[in-house]
Amino acid sequence: MKQVAVLMGLLALVVVMSGCGGDKYDRAAREMIDCMKDMNSVLEGVKDKGSAEAAKPKMEKIAKRMEALGKRMKEMGKPPKEREEELEKKYEKEMKEVMGNMMKNMGRLATIEGGADLGKLFENIEMPD
């Protein structure tokens, strides 16, 4: 369940941190979405204990990217409030798809030996409020 909370926090961050096209907020949002897509790609290949162990170094690398991104996002601060509504529309469809896949993968991992440990790599990543 903690993994679900982390994923929902990531969704909120993408919406909040996305700014006008090409600016630092937009780049940060794009990077967050790309990280989550990379996570999904790795997680989709996890079918058993062996593949979960093989996926761990890739997931650790993604976790480090997300942690660094979280620090940059904190430094940037939030974009103006009026942009948030526009940006929700801009990223809503893609985020729903990415988050849906993520939720499906995380649920599936809970049934695979060693799979749940992959999600734990992301539990302590600090992101902006």
Task: Indicate whether 119 belongs to any domain.
Answer: no
For the stretch 93-114, pLDDT in tens is: 998 999 999 999 999 999 999 9
Whether residue 115 contacts residue 61, with contact meaning beta carbons closer than 8 Å, is answered with no
Domain count, the chain: 1
Q: What region, left, alpha or beta, does residue 114 occupy, with left being phi > 0 and alpha being psi -120 to 50 degrees?
A: left
**Angle formed by the axes of helices 24-44 and 49-76, to 10°?**
170
Whether residue 37 contacts residue 31, with contact meaning beta carbons closer than 8 Å, is answered with no
User: Which residues span the domain enclosing 86?
Assistant: 2-111
Closest CA to 19 of 101, 80, 110, 109: 80
Task: Indicate whether 124 belongs to any domain.
Answer: no
Q: Can you give the pLDDT of all 129 residues of the chain as single tens digits?
A: 455 455 555 555 555 544 434 577 788 888 989 999 999 999 999 999 999 999 999 999 999 999 999 899 889 888 788 777 777 788 889 989 999 999 999 999 999 999 988 888 888 777 766
